[in-house]
């Protein structure tokens, strides 16, 4: 499967890491030169420094042969424009990140297949955040059968363990580690330290079990 992701920020990098681990072919479009260079160093993927809202760049990444396009930047207008352009190439699945809840309907009206809205999701799933206060963030992916969680590792059993000894499994994968303002895409030898913050893509049905694994 060929997946094109626009945006090499936190969301884009985490998604790309998961897809690459799963054996998918990933191309990233990022207009910020420093973020592009960072993505090149962290991921085994083709990274194009350019604007995904430009037809020239989309054609450079061979968008007409992509199976999935994901607009993952923090700019709703850019994400919407890119998705509209991509729809003209008949890409089978188009996914957009939306930061402002009120913009969600606009994305749906132009035929975007899936809309990921962290702010709206956090509000509608506030009860889950209250029940699981050690989880700092929550994002629903796709149709709601998977969630991207940011968790601080407090379970002593997880301290100094290699990622390869924990993830990936059928239910979750550790997609990123966060150190200050930096994001680290883990490899099999990455070690979890006490109190480190990690992003985990987890199937909804396994959330409670995964939370307990890292926080109790």
For 48, 152, 171, 193, the CA distances from 156, given in Å and listed in that order, are 41, 12, 22, 9
With tokens 């990936």, the residue in question is 168
With tokens 């480190």, the residue in question is 196
The 3-state DSSP class for residue 95 equals strand
The C-alpha atoms of residue 14 and residue 24 are separated, in whole angstroms, by 14
| CATH number assigned to the domain covering 122-215 | 3.30.70.1450
The C-alpha atoms of residue 19 and residue 25 are separated, in whole angstroms, by 8
Which homologous superfamily does the CATH classification assign to the domain defined by 2-116?
Answer: NAD(P)-binding Rossmann-like Domain (3.40.50.720)
Domain boundaries of the chain, sorted by first residue: 2-116, 122-215
Which residues on neighbouring strands pair with residue 21, listed in sequence order? Answer: none
- The 8-class DSSP code of residue 191 comes to B
At residue 144 the predicted structure's pLDDT band, cuts being 50, 70 and 90, is low
**Mean pLDDT, residues 171-179 taken together:** 86
The reported pLDDT for the residue numbered 153 is: 92
The rounded radius of gyration (Å) of the Cα atoms in the chain is 17
The 3-state DSSP class for residue 123 equals helix
Contact yes or no for 191/182 (Cβ under 8 A): no
The reported pLDDT for the residue numbered 57 is: 96
Choose among 32, 26, 40, 37: nearest CA to 7. 32
With tokens 């799933």, the residue in question is 125
Contact yes or no for 42/14 (Cβ under 8 A): no
Choose among 177, 171, 152: nearest CA to 210. 171
Percent of the chain with pLDDT over 70: 86
Query: Which is more confident, 150 or 40?
Result: 40
| Whole-prediction pTM | 0.59
The reported pLDDT for the residue numbered 119 is: 46
Query: Which is more confident, 208 or 192?
Result: 192
**Mean pLDDT, residues 105-121 taken together:** 70
In the predicted structure, residue 35 carries a pLDDT above the cut 70? yes
With tokens 């975007």, the residue in question is 112
The C-alpha atoms of residue 201 and residue 139 are separated, in whole angstroms, by 9
Residue 37 burial class via C-beta count within 10 angstroms: exposed 0-12, middle 13-18, buried 19 and up: middle
In the predicted structure, residue 126 carries a pLDDT above the cut 70? no
The C-alpha atoms of residue 81 and residue 79 are separated, in whole angstroms, by 6
């Amino acid at each position: 499967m060929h997946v094109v992701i626009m945006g090499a920020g936190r969301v884009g990098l985490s998604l790309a890491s998961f897809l690459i681990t799963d054996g998918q072919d990933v191309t990233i479009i990022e207009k910020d030169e420093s973020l592009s260079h960072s993505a090149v160093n962290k991921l085994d993927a083709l990274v194009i420094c350019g604007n995904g809202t430009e037809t020239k760049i989309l054609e450079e990444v061979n968008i007409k042969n992509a199976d999935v396009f994901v607009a993952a930047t923090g700019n709703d207008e850019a994400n919407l424009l890119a998705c509209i352009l991509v729809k003209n190439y008949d890409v089978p699945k188009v996914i957009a990140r939306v930061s402002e809840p009120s913009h969600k309907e606009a994305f749906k009206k132009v035929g975007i297949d899936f809309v990921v809205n962290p702010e709206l999701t956090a509000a509608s799933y506030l009860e889950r955040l209250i029940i699981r206060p050690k989880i700092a963030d929550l994002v629903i992916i796709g149709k709601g059968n998977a969630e991207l969680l940011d968790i601080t590792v407090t379970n002593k059993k997880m301290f100094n363990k290699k990622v390869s000894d924990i993830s990936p499994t059928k239910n979750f994968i550790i997609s990123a580690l966060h150190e200050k303002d930096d994001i680290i895409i883990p490899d099999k030898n990455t070690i979890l330290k006490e109190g480190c913050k990690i992003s985990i893509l987890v199937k909804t049905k396994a959330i409670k079990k995964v939370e307990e694994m890292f926080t109790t």
